[in-house]
Amino acid sequence: MNERKDTAADQAFAEKAKQLFDESVENLDGETRSRLNRGRQAALEQLAAAKPVWVQWAPAAGVAAAAVFAVVLWTGNQPVDELTPEATASDFEILLTEDSFEMLEDLEFYSWIDLDEEPEETPEDEDVVG
């Protein structure tokens, strides 16, 4: 009987305490509420900052892709010097022959002669000479 009375008194006590507490919460001043709101926004910013990995790297990936695209476009429009590889090949050809090393002194001259002689080897020219 006493136990039941004690439990009821405890419950009544807790209810009054809760009521007073709720009143004190409702009576919080505007400045305190404003500071709580700012704190909440700061906490939510932390959540927004924790974005998926692909979202974090998306801007950097975009910049990198644009850079690669620009490089490809730029190199694609460059005029190719077609004479340079041919000249290099002919230089090797001359160097690999067993002729005297004296000709190395006039390497450019022999290259020019080599280029100059090529058109004469056409069949049409042979017919004219013959």
Partner 1 sequence: MNACVASFAVSCESGGRKGASTLQREQELNRFFAGIEKRALRIAEISIRDRDEALDLVQDAMIQLARKYAKRELDEWTPLFYRILQNKVRDWHRRQAVRGRVMVWFRRSGSDDSDYDAVAAAPDPMGRTPDEQLQSQEAMQSLEIALGELPARQREAFMLRTFEGLDVAGTATAMRCSEGSVKTHYSRAVHSLRETLGEHWQ
List residues near partner 1 by CB under 8 A: 9-10, 12-14, 16-18, 20-21, 23-25, 27-29, 32-33, 35-36, 39-40, 42-44, 46-48, 50-52, 54-55
Cα separation, 38 vs 3, in Å, equals 48
Q: Which is nearer to partner 1, 29 or 124 (CB)?
A: 29
Burial of 59 (0-12, 13-18, 19+ CB in 10 A): exposed
**Residue with smaller CB distance to partner 1, 58 or 115:** 58
Q: How far is the CB of 43 from partner 1 (least distance, A)?
A: 4
Is 48 or 73 the residue whose CB approaches partner 1 more closely? Answer: 48
Do 38 and 45 meet the contact criterion of CB atoms below 8 Å apart? no
Q: Which is nearer to partner 1, 41 or 77 (CB)?
A: 41
- Helices 83-96 & 107-117 angle (0-180, nearest 10): 110
The single-letter code of the amino acid at 14 is A
SS3 120: helix
Minimum distance, C-beta of residue 123 to partner 1, in the bound complex (Å): 47
User: Least CB distance from residue 110 to partner 1, whole Å?
Assistant: 50
Q: How far is CA 67 from CA 55, 63, 97, 109, in A?
A: 19, 6, 47, 44
